[in-house]
Amino acid sequence: MKLVVLDSIPFNPGDLDWAPMKQLGELVTYEKTTPDQIAERIGDADVVFTNKTKLTAEHFDAAKNLKLVSVLFTGYDAIDTAAARERGITVCNVPGYSTPSVAQVTFAHMLEFTHHVGEHSRGVHGGMWQQKGIFTYWDHPLIELKGKLLVIAGYGSVGKTVAQIAQAFGMRVAALKLSDKPSTDPTIERLSIEDGFKQADFLSLHIPLNEKTTQFVNADRLKLMKPAAFLINTGRGGLIDEQAVADALKNQQIAGYGTDVLSSEPPLPDNPLLDAPNCHITPHIAWASREAAPA
């Protein structure tokens, strides 16, 4: 049996031992794989492991022995799952391993917007406190989370963990009603998409990226939000229309956007969020706490 890993970094930057997998068969690992290299590299593979390298019907047709595709992280947005199903190829991933870490980074963004800890620290190191000449100063309104409404889009494992943390802060919590399925948590209020966008003080995205959720946050929905509201995204970059969010920030339609994910990673030079005001971007690190990451 031949096993192929298409993009071993960052899953294994050199601190993991592949020996256990080698016991299963011939193992070939690649640090990175470009789109034009995929077909050749998986041509005779029985099992393929991938992270962000996208696999399509064309690639599956080039891999006649392929029986299993395993995503090394959460989500299936890198895989044409319908094409895999048609060809009898099993697809799996690793759910749940980073839930606490992702929830924590969600609040890291929220807390940066509400107290601007990093910015105030840089100001102190730059001499601003001495210039003010008094025992305290702040450059932005300081906002308490208590009593604010957090609206969660995607009430799965991460969404539920975010809700629990929010309640500990004294926040009110609601979840968007995204399907007709009955609620599994009657203690959490369900809001329509329109009402959720209108009422949210914070709107946090935790839905998977697929055809139905691509650009879930668009210009029309951003217009529903309060000017004082913040949008947080630790899901996938494609969940938002990045140009629409950049425009909303520039036009002060929303107060801020905090994201750990972009539509293209690393960002393209012309990504509109790179020069948008009140936009905090972290480099897809929500999954990578010491406790969550492979060790």
pLDDT of residue 249 exceeding 90: yes
Contact 225, 203 (CB under 8 A): yes
Q: Give the domains, in start order, of the chain with CATH numbers.
A: 2-92 (3.40.50.720), 99-281 (3.40.50.720)
Secondary structure of residue 117 in the 3-state scheme? helix
- Per-residue pLDDT band for 284 (boundaries 50, 70, 90) equals very high
Q: Rounded to whole angstroms, what are the CA distances from 294 to 10, 99, 198, 237, 291? A: 10, 14, 40, 23, 8
Residues 6+ away with beta carbon under 8 Å from 41:
4, 6, 28, 30, 33
Q: Which residue is it, tokens 């960052």?
A: 10
Q: What CA–CA distance (Å, rounded) separates 121 from 127?
A: 10
pLDDT of residue 84 exceeding 80: yes
pLDDT of residue 295 exceeding 60: no
Q: What is the mean pLDDT of residues 268-288?
A: 96
Exposed e or buried b per residue across 170-200, where buried means at least 16 C-beta atoms within 10 angstroms of its C-beta: ebebbbbbbeeeeeeeeebbbbeeebbbbbb
pLDDT tens per residue, range 195-239: 999 999 999 999 999 999 999 999 999 999 999 999 999 999 999
Q: What is the mean pLDDT of residues 76-86?
A: 95
Contact 241, 219 (CB under 8 A): yes
Task: Identify which of 101, 112, 107 has the alpha carbon closest to the alpha carbon of residue 288.
Answer: 101
The reported pTM is: 0.91
Q: What is the mean pLDDT of residues 116-133?
A: 96
- Tokens standing for 37? 């290299």
pLDDT of residue 13 exceeding 80: no
Q: What are phi and psi of 98, to 5 degrees?
A: -115, 15
CA distance between the termini of the chain: 26
Strand order in the sheet with 279-281: 189-191, 172-176, 149-153, 202-205, 230-233, 256-259, 279-281
18 compared with 67, residue with greater pLDDT = 67
Which stretch of DSSP H or E encloses residue 115? Answer: helix 99-115
pLDDT of residue 11 exceeding 80: no
pLDDT of residue 184: 77
Q: What is the mean pLDDT of residues 171-188?
A: 90
pLDDT tens per residue, range 19-40: 888 999 999 999 999 999 999 9
pLDDT of residue 294: 56
Q: Average model confidence (pLDDT) for the chain?
A: 95
Q: What CA–CA distance (Å, rounded) separates 269 from 73?
A: 26
Catalytic residues: 236, 265, 284
Q: How many helices (H) and strands (E) does the chain have?
A: 11, 12
Q: How many residues does the chain have?
A: 295
- Tokens standing for 240? 């938002």
